[in-house]
Chains A and B, each alone.
Chain A
Amino acid sequence: MIKKEMIAMLLAGGQGSRLGVLTAKMAKPAVSFGGKYRIIDFPLSNCINSGVDTVGVLTQYRPLRLNSHIGIGIPWDLDRNFGGVTVLPPYEKSANSEWYTGTANAIYQNMEYMENYNPDYVLILSGDHIYKMDYETMLDFHKSSGADATIAVMPVPIEEASRFGIMITDENKRIVDFEEKPEHPRSNLASMGIYIFSWKVLKEALIKNKDQAGLDFGKHIIPYCKEKGQFLYAYEFDGYWKDVGTLTSYWEANMELIDIVPEFNLYEEYWKIYTASDVQPPQYLGPESAIERSIVGEGCEIDGKVYNSVIGPGVKIGKDTVVSHSIIMNQTEIGNGCNIEKAIIAEKVKIGNGVTLGAFEEKENETKPGIYCEGLCTIGERSVIPDNVKVGKNTMISGETTAEDYPSGVLDSGRTLDKAGD
């Protein structure tokens, strides 16, 4: 019989629509981060580093990139004879086939998977945060406090607390109350969306609430447990934890990595972050290149100048091109004589010669002002940008564009140019 003390269920099915065009073709956990990683690498690496070797990854929205990235889990040592990583998409049933309608509903639909491992505890994770955390210490806390469910929380500045789910605890960290995005928060402990449940408690709660539409942990399961009088505890985490749910927070989190001693340090030996990389060779900096305050992934060929940027693996940057305050993802090629400022350029983009990104005065974006903002110029994956065009701020470009798409060679600030289709 197989027995695992704790297994993890990683929710990776969401689109993450606030990341705009970055998640047009892939789920948010598959988005590149920090010069060589993808967002899901952080929870997966945390799992294996914490000794959790059985992980179910729940996928739903555009799972291809995620599937091929995870494979059989080799990069994270999650290729196991017993356990390991399993990708769990929604599936057809004899009656009532349905998509995953909510976080807890997705877990409920994979009851069989969990039962196979006969666990004592189940760890629920989401695939959209950047952090290093030892789930084993959280489990120790869960056991020693005698909790039925433990929620990881993080102290946030009280003025920002109204953006989060807030936990109110007593002096023993037992949760006495909680509120979702309260106007007047009574505590600054924000839920991180990380839960440890004792298996019996979780199973009972899921079965009891299975008919609830859009069954969700925060909205239904946790309130249900509290009403039943079960022991809910808050586990306080004080390390680095970053939500990269919006384009601006995604850009900021990347930029934080280039500080001399970044708050989130990837260079520590003892808590490695693993990833599947298809590019291995070293990077080359040409005789006329210049580079400062940047991190650069494997196999890049840089002949231009790079400042304050995060460059992914296999990127080519041509001569006399200046890149600053930008994120450039895997295998994008940028021609000669370009000027790129504050841009997020997704994977496998081709940019011609003499292109300017991030020009002109700032204007509000015409289609999604809440997403394409703060002066960022965002280019979707596999886009093509022709020679000698000028692109403004708060812009979005996706798909193969040609010179005709840029009247007199210009795409003004605030414009959206989407030729990718679905």
Chain B
Amino acid sequence: MRAIGIILAGGSSSRMQDLSKRRAVCAMPVAGFYRSIDFALSNMTNSHIQTVAVFTQYNAGSLNTHLSSSKWWDFGRKQGGLYVFTPAVKASGNLWYRGTADAIAQNLDFLRSCHEPYVIITSGDCVYKMDYGKLLEYHIQKQADITVVCKDMPASIDTERFGTIRMNEESRIEEFEEKPVVSKSNTISCGIYVIRRRQLIELIERAEEEERYDFVRDILVRYKDMKRIYGYKIKEYWSNIASVEDYYRTNMDFLRPEIRHYFFREYPGIYTKVTDLPPAKYNVGVSVRNGLISSGCIINGTIEDSVIFKGAFIGNNCYIKNSIILNDVYIGDNSHIENCIVESHGTIQANSYYKEENGIKVVVENNERYVL
């Protein structure tokens, strides 16, 4: 492959409420057993990109644990590898990453030391499948300086979280608004870019001199009339998980057969760290209707329209509806949970009642656990 990969995995998000207290958004569990960054990593490896850098900063520990071995995504080779870059003390000073462009700037040596001519940049908090090879072909064919992956969203979308784009008939980007309150367009940037490596180094060096630190605002928006920036529209599934509502909806999407088929059964697959959990176990008195259940779970109650992550225990006579139960949660007997996201490793005492009438409630319960 003629490209290296960069995964921007730095951010926290206040829209994640309590869910990002403990971990980076890119380390959020998704669809029962993945973590969000697995999608970007798997796309990289499936597109034969061998050298991938992950820039991370906020709660980096969560991501570091997940990436403790790179073999699950088939990195860790003599040719290429997976590199995790966190901010470090340097001769030039010890600064946090002040923005996406700054994260790249602080690690320019990595970019300089590679020999591949192109760079694929993606964010680590999106759920999608993509062949970056095809994207790169498009980029070359358009003779673009930068290509931005974009997608038409329903008119109802809240554009305040995204960058919106307007293109001319040749797909060249004419307008790029970052996080507009009201937008003229409902085509949004997916946060996936292709750029020539030398070009990127040049632009980043310039931005750094001018003390500009954001890749979108200070490079894409600023240079959009000077450089040839093109849009690459996708129709396939793509979803950003960086708000509680979107996180909930994305997980619930996996209850739809076509989404499951697309991600779970169609080639190429999405890979994640292997956890060696036993099969899920269903005891007497269980009822599961429209539920996604992961390995290591022990189920004793009733589950409807919900996603249950790895290693969860659901007690007798429980009723779980329209909810997401994250990894290793213990739910005591006779509990009722409806329209909730239960934070991982939580312990819900027996006879608890959680029901959110409007929207989704994030439940964080760290009670003591008495189990075998």
Contacts and interface: CB of A to CB of B under 8 A. Distances in A.
B71 A74 contact: yes
Given A282-B293, A285-B288, A292 B33 contact: no
Contact of A295 (B255, B265, B279, B294): B279
Contacts of A311: 279
B271 A280 contact: yes
Given A35-B279, A281-B31, A281-B32, A292 B295 contact: no
A284 B272 CA distance: 19
A258 B264 CA distance: 27
B87 to A, nearest CB: 32
Contacts of B288: 285, 289, 291
Interface stretch (A219-227, A229-237, A265-273): A265-273
Nearest to A262: B281
A287 B289 contact: yes
A297 B276 CA distance: 12
Contacts of B289: 285-289
Nearest to B296: A267
Interface string B279-300: 1111111111111111110100
A291 B33 contact: no
Nearest to A35: B279
B369 interface: no
B280 A283 contact: yes
Contacts of B296: 267
Interface string A4-37: 0000000000000000000000000000001110
A321 to B, nearest CB: 16
A34 B279 contact: yes
B306 to A, nearest CB: 10
Most buried by B among A36, A277, A310: A36
A298 B292 CA distance: 10
A282 B295 contact: yes
Interface in A235-280: 258, 260, 266-267, 272-275, 277, 280
Nearest to A291: B282
B295 A36 contact: yes
B66 interface: no
B72 to A, nearest CB: 9
Contacts of A260: 283-284
A128 B289 CA distance: 38
B280 A295 contact: yes
B238 interface: no
A193 interface: no
Given A282-B294, A287-B289, A292 B282 contact: yes
A298 B278 contact: no
B292 A283 contact: yes
Contacts of B290: 285-287
A293 interface: yes
A299 interface: yes
Given A34-B279, A35-B279, A285 B285 contact: no
Contacts of B260: 281, 284, 301
Contacts of A275: 276
Nearest to B309: A282
B369 to A, nearest CB: 13
Given A285-B288, A290-B287, A295 B293 contact: no
Contacts of B274: 75, 277, 280
A281 B263 contact: yes
A294 B293 contact: no
B332 to A, nearest CB: 17
A296 interface: yes
Contacts of A298: 279, 294-295
Contacts of A272: 276
A285 B292 CA distance: 6
A282 B270 CA distance: 13
Contacts of B31: 281-282
A297 B294 CA distance: 9
A258 B282 CA distance: 8
B360 to A, nearest CB: 20
A332 to B, nearest CB: 15
B276 A282 contact: no
B264 A267 contact: no
A35 B269 CA distance: 21
Nearest to B264: A281
A111 B287 CA distance: 56
Contacts of B282: 291-296, 306
A35 B280 CA distance: 9
A285 B306 CA distance: 10
A275 B276 CA distance: 7
Given A36-B295, A286-B289, A288-B289, A266 B271 contact: no
A292 B264 contact: no
Nearest to B255: A284
Contacts of B32: 281-282
Contacts of B294: 282-283, 298
A76 B271 CA distance: 18
Interface string B196-212: 00000000000000000
Given A267-B296, A281-B264, A282-B293, A258 B281 contact: yes
Interface in A16-75: 34-36, 74-75
Contacts of B271: 280
Contacts of A292: 282-286
Given A292-B286, A293-B284, A299-B264, A282 B278 contact: no
Q: A74, A272, A281, A285: which has the most chain B beta carbons within 10 Å? A: A281
A285 B280 CA distance: 12
A283 B284 contact: no
Contacts of A290: 287
Nearest to B278: A266
Contact of B295 (A274, A288, A289, A297): A297
A367 B260 CA distance: 43
B283 A36 contact: no
Contacts of B284: 260, 292-293
Nearest to A311: B279
Nearest to B297: A282
Contacts of A281: 31-33, 260, 263-264
Nearest to B303: A285
A291 to B, nearest CB: 5
Contacts of A294: 281-282
Interface string B233-276: 00000000000000000000001000010011100010110101
Interface of B: 31-33, 71, 255, 260, 263-265, 269, 271-272, 274, 276, 278-296, 298, 307-308
30 contacts: A34-B278, A36-B295, A266-B278, A266-B279, A267-B298, A274-B276, A280-B33, A280-B272, A281-B264, A282-B33, A282-B293, A282-B294, A282-B295, A283-B293, A283-B294, A284-B291, A284-B292, A285-B289, A289-B288, A289-B289, A290-B287, A291-B286, A291-B288, A294-B281, A296-B279, A297-B279, A297-B280, A298-B294, A301-B260, A310-B279
Given A280-B271, A281-B264, A282-B307, 7 more contacts: A35-B278, A75-B274, A285-B289, A285-B291, A290-B287, A295-B279, A297-B279
Q: Lowest 4 A-B CB distances belong to which pairs?
A: A282-B32, A35-B279, A266-B278, A281-B264
